[in-house]
Amino acid sequence: MASNMNEPGRAAIEMIGVNKWYGAYHALRDVNLTVMAGERIVVCGPSGSGKSTLIRCVNRLEAHESGDIVVEGVTLTDDLRHIHEVRREVGMVFQHFNLFPHLTILENCTLAPIHVLKMEPRDAEAVAMHYLGKVHISDQADKYPGQLSGGQQQRAAIARALCMNPKIMLFDEPTSALDPEMVKEVLETMVQLAREGMTMVCVTHEMGFARQVADRVIFMDAGAIVEINRPEDFFSAPRHPRARQFLGEIL
Amino acid sequence: MAGSTRGGPGANALYVLQGNIPPRAPPLRRRRLIDLLAGNLFDGWRASLLTIATLLLIALVAPPLLRFLVFDAVWSAPDGAACRAPGAGACWAFIWRKLPYFTYGSYPLDQRWRVDVTLAMGAVLIVWLLWLNAPRRNLAALLFFGAYPIIAFLLLHGAPFIGLPRVASDLWGGIFVSLLVATVGMVVSLPFGVLLALGRRSSLPALSLACAGFIELVRGVPIITVLFMANTMLPLFVPENLAPDRLLRPLIGVALFASAYMAEVVRGGLQAIPNGQFEGALALGLGRWQMQRLVILPQALRAVIPGVVNNFIALFKDTTLVAVVGIFDFLRTVDSARLDPVWAGPTIAATGYAFAAMFYFVFCFAMSRYSLFVERRFSHGR
């Protein structure tokens, strides 16, 4: 990764007083969060606590209803140009991979670079092969997603997101849909990415991963951020009672 | 294998495999004809009874049918006299003699080469387009959807400035008009159907309502009504000198009708695409149209190939209905040729309709087989 995205002290994501409702349900409640460039954030919390909603607001897969979200200096509004600008800078990895089943792995990786960044197909393929090599599936490039294992599919999805050369990567429970023996290979890819200085926001319950790479752990409950802590402190001595209860249940 | 847990530090395990189990070939599955018969046709008394009943039915129907169509058929004759002979079967001589009329309708004799050229060009382009491994298929698409309609119009309708005399559409008829109506219906209905389906799913209420309204209105009336409306009402909407040609009116009617049905088939495919595909595409920064064109529609259309082809087959047969507004399609030419006093006879109508049935069956069956082939081709990696 280029080092310029790692300038210290620059905010990559700023969320100020963000609120969101699903119908009458208050899904995000007064969320305030600043993610610095190069910072690794792990978001955890019980299911339904708003973790996914939080990161999906960052690239506007969900629209927040009040407050401000500024991503790489761009304020997210209904303005489609701003939304596209943000999505170009933000890569996302989903729980269910969301690879395009009708395209080969290579085509999955080159689609957006060719059509969004207007890269020459040959250049896009070179970039794609570079990242597929990084996640160790160059040999699967010409296969279709359905022919790969879950772990390989998730690594392909990570490579696909990286091909857009994003400044920020969002991970929405990337290992939750995987068989246990495949979790490790995906986590290793994410650790490698973290070491290279990528700004990352990961919704995950992988506590080993959180300990290893996270700068801060954010614990959410009922749509609100209830605790922000350093991982070593969060796991050994959580401050908020609901965090203590949650950790007691999953560990 | 109780012995395998004997002794050693692992003695407390309930079972531990010693060595490994090498793979073996599967048992032979016998597929001899006699087994097939015993297993399917004569499997129990009920199956046997059904088999015998079916064989009896075939024995009852097949011989007279074959006698009429093949053995007693009149293959060549100068006029209907031989066909009127008692005991004569199908009068294929009549079909042979009338084939030009069935193909071109009343298109002037000395101009029929124009129809031949149009049909040949269309056939070449369609084969090029449908042959999935053919080189430069995008060029074929460009020619077929872009240049061909214009060339076909100039050839068929005429263009005095390049020396092709005008041939009024009242003279058009036969197989070429049937193919024309069907092709226009198919070529127009797929893109319009896609647009209507996308429109109906749109989050803009006005667009969604307009598309849904159109679809429901057109689907809610019989195609004959649509044809009559196109024939009598279209001219009312435009100035008299701009009134559409009498062949163009049913073409528009058929295209509208087919589009409405196609829209619902395509919408079914769109509904089947999981939300994650939309989110995956949007998160990569694709625009709404790029997402539809590159990610959603390729999957949705592949999923609905059987439905699309079903519509095409139905549409192909529905083209016979344009006869009600006075267009001489293929079936109508068969119907009017059988009244020719030179050929009139007891077997002429049956022969004509048998020929028409075979014609429609060949086209529809070909479409059906082609769609199966395409489905198999696209079924990779699932």
| Residue B93 within any structural domain of the chain | no
Give the helix, strand, coil percentages of chain B, each rounded to 5. Answer: 75, 5, 25
Residue B158's pLDDT is what?
87
* Burial of residue A92, with CB atoms counted within 10 A of its CB: 0-12 exposed, 13-18 middle, 19 or more buried: buried
- The answer to whether residues B323 and B195 belong to one domain is yes
Q: A127-140 pLDDT, tens per residue?
A: 999 999 999 999 99
The pLDDT of residue A123 is above 80: yes
| Arithmetic mean of pLDDT over chain A | 93
CA A38 to chain CA mean position, Å = 13
Q: B70-92 pLDDT, tens per residue?
A: 998 889 888 888 888 888 889 99
Q: Closest partner residue to B290 among A91, A101, A115, by Cβ?
A: A115
Domain end call among B167, B198, B220:
B167
Other beta carbons within 10 angstroms of residue B357's beta carbon come to 11
Question: Distance between CA B147 and CA B136 in Å, rounded?
Answer: 16
A82 → chain B, closest CA residue? B285
* Burial of residue B232, with CB atoms counted within 10 A of its CB: 0-12 exposed, 13-18 middle, 19 or more buried: exposed
- The answer to whether residues B264 and B367 belong to one domain is yes
Which residues have CB under 8 Å from B160's CB, separation 6+? B166
- The answer to whether residues B191 and B327 belong to one domain is yes
Query: Is residue A95 helix, strand or coil?
Result: coil
Question: Distance between CA B200 and CA B212 in Å, rounded?
Answer: 6
Give the length of chain B.
382
- Give yes or no for a contact between A100 and A148, defined as CB atoms under 8 angstroms apart: no
Nearest to A170 by CA among A108, A111, A246, A87: A87
Question: Distance between CA A170 and CA A201 in Å, rounded?
Answer: 5
How many domains are contained in chain B? Answer: 3
The pLDDT of residue A213 is above 90: yes
Residue A159's pLDDT is what?
97
| Residue B231 within any structural domain of the chain | yes
Question: Distance between CA A187 and CA A191 in Å, rounded?
Answer: 6
Question: Distance between CA A120 and CA A128 in Å, rounded?
Answer: 12
Residue A203's pLDDT is what?
96
Which residues have CB under 8 Å from B155's CB, separation 6+? B114, B115, B117, B118, B164
| Residue B317 within any structural domain of the chain | yes
Which residues have CB under 8 Å from A225's CB, separation 6+? A31, A32, A33, A218, A219
| CATH code for the domain of B191 | 1.10.3720.10
Judging by DSSP bridges, how do beta strands A66-71 and A11-22 pair with one another?
A: antiparallel
Domain end call among B112, B140, B167:
B167
Residue B5's pLDDT is what?
46
Q: B254-300 pLDDT, tens per residue?
A: 999 999 999 999 999 999 999 999 999 999 999 999 999 999 999 99
CA-based torsion, B6, B11, B17, B18: positive or negative: negative
| Residue B201 within any structural domain of the chain | yes
- The answer to whether residues B187 and B289 belong to one domain is yes
Residue B10's pLDDT is what?
53
Q: A96-119 pLDDT, tens per residue?
A: 999 999 999 999 999 999 999 999
A162 → chain B, closest CA residue? B284
Q: Closest partner residue to B295 among A59, A61, A100, by Cβ?
A: A100
Contacts of A57 in chain B (CB under 8 A): none
Inter-chain CB proximity A112 and B286 less than 8 Å? yes
| Residue B28 within any structural domain of the chain | no
| Confidence label for A233 from pLDDT (cuts 50, 70 and 90) | very high
Residue B316's pLDDT is what?
94
The pLDDT of residue A163 is above 80: yes
Contacts of A106 in chain B (CB under 8 A): none
Contacts of A160 in chain B (CB under 8 A): 284
- Give yes or no for a contact between B201 and B264, defined as CB atoms under 8 angstroms apart: no
- Mind telling me how many Å the CA of A88 is from chain B's nearest CA? 5
Residue B11's pLDDT is what?
64
Contacts of B275 in chain A (CB under 8 A): none
- The answer to whether residues B271 and B124 belong to one domain is no
Nearest to B174 by CA among B336, B318, B349, B333: B333
User: How many A-B residue pairs are in contact by the CB < 8 A criterion?
Assistant: 67
Q: Closest partner residue to A143 among B280, B378, B381, by Cβ?
A: B381
ipTM exceeds 0.95? no
Which residues have CB under 8 Å from B162's CB, separation 6+? B154
Question: Distance between CA B274 and CA B291 in Å, rounded?
Answer: 13
- The answer to whether residues B199 and B281 belong to one domain is yes
Name the residue with higher pLDDT: A9 or B320. Answer: B320
Segments of chain B scoring below 50 in pLDDT? 1-5, 381-382
Inter-chain CB proximity B284 and A100 less than 8 Å? no
- The answer to whether residues B45 and B147 belong to one domain is no
Inter-chain CB proximity B286 and A90 less than 8 Å? no
- The answer to whether residues B302 and B200 belong to one domain is yes
Residue B7's pLDDT is what?
52
| Residue B94 within any structural domain of the chain | no
Question: Distance between CA B68 and CA B59 in Å, rounded?
Answer: 15
Inter-chain CB proximity A92 and B380 less than 8 Å? no
Domain end call among B112, B136, B167:
B167
- The answer to whether residues B199 and B304 belong to one domain is yes
- The answer to whether residues B210 and B285 belong to one domain is yes
The pLDDT of residue A198 is above 70: yes
Question: Which helix or strand (DSSP H or E) is residue B301 part of?
Answer: helix B297-303
> From start to end of A120-215, where are the E strands?
168-172, 199-203
| Residue B266 within any structural domain of the chain | yes
B380 → chain A, closest CA residue? A144
% of chain A residues with pLDDT over 70: 96
Contacts of A96 in chain B (CB under 8 A): 274, 276
Q: Quickly list DSSP for B146-204.
A: IIHHHHHHHHHH-BGGGTB----GGGBEEHHHHHHHHHHHHHHHHHHHHHHHHHHT-S-
Question: Distance between CA A154 and CA A132 in Å, rounded?
Answer: 11
CA-based torsion, A238, A229, A185, A61: positive or negative: positive
Query: Residue B339 carries which DSSP code?
Result: T
Give the length of chain A.
251
Residue A4's pLDDT is what?
46
The pLDDT of residue A2 is above 70: no
Inter-chain CB proximity B282 and A146 less than 8 Å? no
CA B119 to each of CA A197, B124, B365: distance values in angstroms, whole numbers, following the listed order: 64, 9, 20
Which domain does B62 fall in, by range?
39-74
Q: A164-176 pLDDT, tens per residue?
A: 999 999 999 999 9
B299 → chain A, closest CA residue? A102
Question: Distance between CA A82 and CA A73 in Å, rounded?
Answer: 10
- The answer to whether residues B195 and B149 belong to one domain is no
Which residues have CB under 8 Å from B64's CB, separation 6+? none
- The answer to whether residues B215 and B162 belong to one domain is no
CA B89 to chain CA mean position, Å = 31
b/e map B117-144, b = 16+ CB within 10 Å: ebbebbeebeebbeeeeeeeeeebeebb
- Residue carrying structure tokens 């890569």: A91
| Residue B148 within any structural domain of the chain | yes
The pLDDT of residue A5 is above 70: no
